[in-house]
Structure 1
Amino acid sequence: MAEHCSPTFAELTHELGFSCEEAGGLVEFRNPFALENWTLPVLELTIVVGAVLALWYAIVRLRRHGDPTNLVLWFGATAYLFVIEPPLYFPAAFGIEDHVDTMFAHNVFTVDFLWGRLPIYIIAIYPLMATMAFCIVRMLGIFRRYGTLIGATCVGFVHHAFYEIFDHLGPQLRWWEWSIDNPLNQPMFDSVPMGSVVVFAALWPMSLAFCVQYFVGRHVDEGRHFSGVELTWRTIVIGLLASVGTFLLPLPATVIGMSSTTVRGIVYGLELAVLVVVAAIVMVRQWRELRQGTATPPQYEDRFVQRFATLYLVVFAALWIASLPDFFAAVNGETTNGDPIGNLWYTAACFAVAIASVVATFTIPRRQAGPDATVSAASTVAS
């Protein structure tokens, strides 16, 4: 699709080692052993398998126990993906090339869609990450106790931790390449744009979680059942409104930082700091009170998320360890191959938050009897 190979995209793909003019068709398959390096198929396999298992588990919960929340979350995240991503890949086709130049290019993986623009793992990572973050917060009983907005804030916090572990590693391992000359990617936080650190890692999952809980989750918690038609239109609305939320939540940084990337970065940082402080206080307080028996034990348990989130952290710890020799040999923020490195200390903090979040779900009491116990038992059977 050479007519859509903008100069910026062509340059990025050249740096990644392939030609956008030769990337073919709506779908393309490649030998996983012939990719840029061994980490690409490992990443792809981990994310795609996780997303498929998350979908299977969501279907099981709906069919066996009448809880559609996970399924709506999965498809809501996917709907959001197809609203947000295509204009970023083909700005000219959407008539926005004068305002939005190419921001990044993915490397080619085993399975790619849209002329090398959309690897299958990107389709999978949206619902997988959203499922892990949302269900961890739900397992801690935060939605029920603190409401939809605070619960969604905590989802953004947990998602941010899991996502930044991935986000700060990708450029070094050539999973993708950012266009650092694009003003929309400024300011940069080492190898990652602040927009990615704040908007895509924290604010969009917060927006999605708010919509899922508002339109479906809180009603399910109250015992309501939805028809197939109701779930379909609610899922579509969730995907659309989550996209609107992603525009509205970072608006302070967008407006205030119009004349200065430094100011934009500061406002982004302040927005993230508020989210982190609120979520950390709520999650620590809830965990402590659950442990002390002064809070009502949650009625929701998700063995899949507990196990797969643990696997995710193990896999990414291994990928980070494998990348450390080149990381420490980097000069002026670039490896000997010319690839930018992320921030190791920030990633370590994100690992700590992600690990603590998963451990918290294993160390709280569960409701064993009463009318709500079936929900907990349901997840145990399905897992």
Structure 2
Amino acid sequence: MSDLCAPTFAELAVRLGFSCDEAGGLIEFRNPAALENWTLPVLEATIVLGSILALVHAIVRLRRHRDPTNLVLWFGATAYLFVIEPPLYFPAAFGIEEHVDTMFAHNVFTVDFLWGRLPLYIVAIYPLMATLAFEIVRMLGVFRRYGVLAGAVCVGFVHHAFYEIFDHIGPQLRWWEWSLDNPINQPFFAAVPLPSVVVFAALWPMSLALCVQFFVGRQVDAGVEFTGLQLVRRTVVIGLLASVGTFVLPLPATVIGVGSDTVRGIVYAAELVVLAVVAVVLLCRRWSELRANASSPRGDRNGFVQCYAVVYLVVMGVLWVTALPFYFGAEDGVTGKGDPIGSLWYTIACFGIAIASVLATVTIPPIAGPSAAVAPAEESAPA
């Protein structure tokens, strides 16, 4: 597949330790013990297992409670992945090479698709992260109390916290490599492009959550049941519209920041600050309401999400601790091995937010009575 080995991707692949020309076909398997370092199979196992369990949980929830929301969320996130990522891997094949050069390259993992471009764990991380963030917000009843848009903002914020823990350590551990010269990646925040920090960590999950809750979740809360064909159609629409949302939501930074990386970075940061402030206020207020009134409508407690969020945070905590010696030995943002480092203080803040989000779902009182969880949202804000 050398005809699809763009020069930028080939260069990034060499820096990661593999050859673009020798990357396998549609699917390739490798010995996990022969990967770049031990953290790659650990990350891969954690994410893939979590995603599979999230899918199983979604199926069980559909069968037991006739609630397809999690299943639509899982497949909607996967549909979004296959809309967004292939053009980024093969811009020439999609006729956009004059506008979009290679932005990044993933390292090779145990299972890879598309000639070394798409590791299995990347396919898995989209639905897993979306499930964790969406269910934390739903458990707190934000959608029921404040409406679809407010809930989606909170999902974007929670997802951002979980994702940035992973995003800021990936380059140092050679999970992927960013193209430093690509203007789309500018400006950088430590080792991470600020557009990734804002768009892929916060705005795309916000867009996905808004679509899932609008097209499926709120109807399920109101007692509506869907046929299989209706769910398939809505899942496809959700994947497509979430992709459109990922283009629309960053438009202020895209338009205002034309010609200036600094201005674009300021607007990106401002969007993230606004989202964070709104989400923190809503989540704290909702937690306080639930502590004071156990009968306030909210989602059922999701033990899988609570447990696996802890598993994810523990694994990432261990990976970060093992990376700290090289992190603190770095000079000018680069370790002695030549790997860029992320922002430790930002990661610590994200750990704090993620832990607080999980604790919030654990520290609210149980649902008071069988009708509380399914009560119509007389408290709810309009969608």
TM category, shorter: over 0.9
- Report the TM-score when normalising by structure 2: 0.96
Rounded to whole Å, the distance in 1 between the matches of 2:163 and 2:295 is: 30
List alignment gaps of at least 5 residues for structure 1: 376-383
List alignment gaps of at least 5 residues for structure 2: 376-383
Rounded to whole Å, the distance in 2 between the matches of 1:294 and 1:40 is: 43
Deviations 1:53-108 (A, max 9, x none): 00000000001110000000000000000000000000000000000000000000
**Structure-2 residue corresponding to 1:87:** 87
Residue 301 of structure 1, CA deviation:
1.5
Rounded to whole Å, the distance in 1 between the matches of 2:275 and 2:27 is: 38
Structure 2 counterpart SS, 1:196 = helix
TM alignment of 1:159-170, pairs within 5 A: 159-170=159-170
Deviations 1:112-134 (A, max 9, x none): 00000000000000000000000
Rounded to whole Å, the distance in 1 between the matches of 2:285 and 2:191 is: 34
- Tell whether the 8 Å contact from 1:186 to 1:194 is kept in structure 2 after alignment: yes
- Tell whether the 8 Å contact from 1:299 to 1:366 is kept in structure 2 after alignment: no
Rounded to whole Å, the distance in 1 between the matches of 2:292 and 2:59 is: 34
TM alignment of 1:285-304, pairs within 5 A: 285-293=285-293, 296-304=296-304
**Structure-2 residue corresponding to 1:335:** 335
Q: Which runs of 4+ in 1 moved over 4 A?
A: 372-375
Residue 300 of structure 1, CA deviation:
1.8
Residue 293 of structure 1, CA deviation:
2.0
Identity %: 72
Structure 1 counterpart SS, 2:28 = strand
**Structure-2 residue corresponding to 1:14:** 14
Counterpart of 1:42 in structure 2: which amino acid?
A: V
**Structure-1 residue corresponding to 2:126:** 126
Rounded to whole Å, the distance in 2 between the matches of 1:185 and 1:334 is: 18
Structure 2 counterpart SS, 1:47 = helix
Residue 292 of structure 1, CA deviation:
1.9
- Tell whether the 8 Å contact from 1:141 to 1:300 is kept in structure 2 after alignment: no
Counterpart of 2:120 in structure 1: which amino acid?
A: I
Counterpart of 1:78 in structure 2: which amino acid?
A: T
**Structure-2 residue corresponding to 1:199:** 199
What CA RMSD, in Å, does the superposition of the two structures yield over aligned residues? Answer: 1.1
Rounded to whole Å, the distance in 1 between the matches of 2:234 and 2:85 is: 21
- Tell whether the 8 Å contact from 1:289 to 1:295 is kept in structure 2 after alignment: no
- Tell whether the 8 Å contact from 1:298 to 1:366 is kept in structure 2 after alignment: no
Residue 189 of structure 1, CA deviation:
0.1
Structure 2 counterpart SS, 1:177 = strand
- Tell whether the 8 Å contact from 1:137 to 1:143 is kept in structure 2 after alignment: yes
Structure 2 counterpart SS, 1:23 = coil
- Tell whether the 8 Å contact from 2:168 to 2:342 is kept in structure 1 after alignment: yes
Counterpart of 1:41 in structure 2: which amino acid?
A: P
**Structure-2 residue corresponding to 1:214:** 214
**Structure-2 residue corresponding to 1:177:** 177
Residue 373 of structure 1, CA deviation:
5.0
TM alignment of 1:1-383, pairs within 5 A: 1-293=1-293, 296-373=296-373
Residue 366 of structure 1, CA deviation:
2.4
Residue 367 of structure 1, CA deviation:
1.7
- Report the TM-score when normalising by structure 1: 0.96
Rounded to whole Å, the distance in 1 between the matches of 2:370 and 2:109 is: 49
Counterpart of 2:14 in structure 1: which amino acid?
A: H
Deviations 1:198-241 (A, max 9, x none): 00000000000000000000000111111001100000000000
